[in-house]
Amino acid sequence: MFKLLWATACVRAQSSVFDERENEGLQLLQVAAKKHEHNTTHHDFSRGDGYCAFWGDTHTVAAYNGHPPDPQQHGLFNMATSKDGRFKAQLYQCAAWHSVSVSWINAMAYDIDGTRVVILPPTMNTISNNGPVYIRANGVEYTSAQLPFTIPGTSIDIRAHKPPYGFHIVTEGFDARVEMMTSTHPYCYVDTGLRLDPSNVPDTNENSFCIKGPQATPIADDGMDADWSASLFTNADHSRICDYCLAYNARSATTAGFKCAKPPPVPPAPPAKKECEDNGCSWIHAQQLCHSLEGDDVLYNDCLFDFCLECEDDAATQFVAEEEDENPGPICVAGAPECAPEEVCTKAVKMNTLTVSHNNLGGVGPDAGAEEIRYSNAAVINGKTVDLVLTTDGTFTSSKPSVNGNAGAFGRLNVKCGTSVTISMKVVDTETGNPVVLDAVALTWYDLDEGKKSKGRATVTTCGSTGAIVSENTELTVEREGDCSSATSSVAGTGKDNPTSPHNLDSLQISRAVTLPFKQVSEMSSTLSLAKGFKGRNFLFAIEPSVACGL
Contact by Cβ (8 Å): 472, 452: no
Where does residue 120 rank: exposed (0-12), middle (13-18), buried (19+ CB within 10 A)?
buried
Distances from the Cα of 104 to the Cα of 59, 107, 117, 259, 522, angstroms:
9, 10, 20, 15, 48
pLDDT over 80 (residue 221): yes
Distances from the Cα of 489 to the Cα of 97, 332, 455, 458, angstroms:
64, 17, 11, 5
Which element (helix H / strand E) includes 301?
helix 297-310
Contact by Cβ (8 Å): 521, 437: yes
| pLDDT recorded at residue 20 | 40
**Cis (ω within 30 of 0) for the bond into 264?**
no
Which element (helix H / strand E) includes 14?
helix 2-36
What SS3 class is residue 362?
helix
DSSP per residue over 487-524, as a string?
EE--SB--GGG--S-TTS--HHHHTT-EEEEEEEESEE
The percentage of the chain sitting over the pLDDT mark of 90, rounded to a whole number, equals 68
| pLDDT recorded at residue 29 | 37
Provide the sign of the torsion angle of the four alpha carbons 12, 15, 20, 21, taken in this order.
Answer: positive
Question: What is the Cα Rg of the chain in Å?
Answer: 27
Report which of 212, 67, 156, 225 is spatially closest to residue 379, judged by C-alpha positions: 156
Least confidently predicted of 4-8, 309-313, 543-547: 4-8
Least confidently predicted of 20-29, 60-69, 375-384, 431-440: 20-29
Global pTM exceeds 0.85: no
More confident site: 475 or 46 = 475
State how far the Cα of 395 lies from the Cα of 392, in Å rounded to an integer.
Answer: 7
C-alpha count within 13 angstroms, C-beta hemisphere, residue 108: 33
More confident site: 323 or 261 = 261
**Cis (ω within 30 of 0) for the bond into 214?**
no
- Determine the average pLDDT of the residues in 111-122: 94
Torsion of CA 367, 536, 506, 388, to 10 degrees: -30
Strand order through the sheet with 484-488: 356-359, 373-381, 384-393, 420-429, 523-530, 458-463, 484-488, 477-481
State how far the Cα of 217 lies from the Cα of 202, in Å rounded to an integer.
Answer: 16
Instruction: Please write the tens of the pLDDT for every residue from 236-245.
Output: 999 999 999 9
| pLDDT recorded at residue 531 | 95
How, if at all, do strands 420-429 and 536-542 pair? Answer: unpaired
Report which of 401, 395, 448, 451 is spatially closest to residue 423, judged by C-alpha positions: 395
pLDDT over 70 (residue 149): yes
pLDDT over 80 (residue 481): yes
pLDDT over 80 (residue 224): no
pLDDT band at 43 (very low <50, low <70, confident <90, very high): very low
Distance separating the N- and C-terminal Cα atoms of the chain? 68
Cβ of 428: how many Cβ atoms within 10 Å?
Answer: 18
Report which of 440, 415, 433 is spatially closest to residue 530, judged by C-alpha positions: 415
Q: What is the average pLDDT score of the chain?
A: 87
SS3 of the chain: helix, strand, coil, percent, to 5: 25, 35, 40
> Which positions ≥6 away from 225 have C-beta within 8 Å?
none
pLDDT band at 269 (very low <50, low <70, confident <90, very high): low
pLDDT over 70 (residue 50): yes
Instruction: Please write the tens of the pLDDT for every residue from 278-292.
Output: 999 999 999 999 988
pLDDT over 60 (residue 58): yes
State how far the Cα of 531 lies from the Cα of 399, in Å rounded to an integer.
Answer: 14
Instruction: Please write the tens of the pLDDT for every residue from 70-107.
Output: 999 999 999 999 998 999 999 999 998 888 899 999 99
State how far the Cα of 498 lies from the Cα of 509, in Å rounded to an integer.
Answer: 7
Contact by Cβ (8 Å): 112, 153: no
Instruction: Please write the tens of the pLDDT for every residue from 150-188.
Output: 998 888 999 999 999 999 999 989 999 999 999 988 899
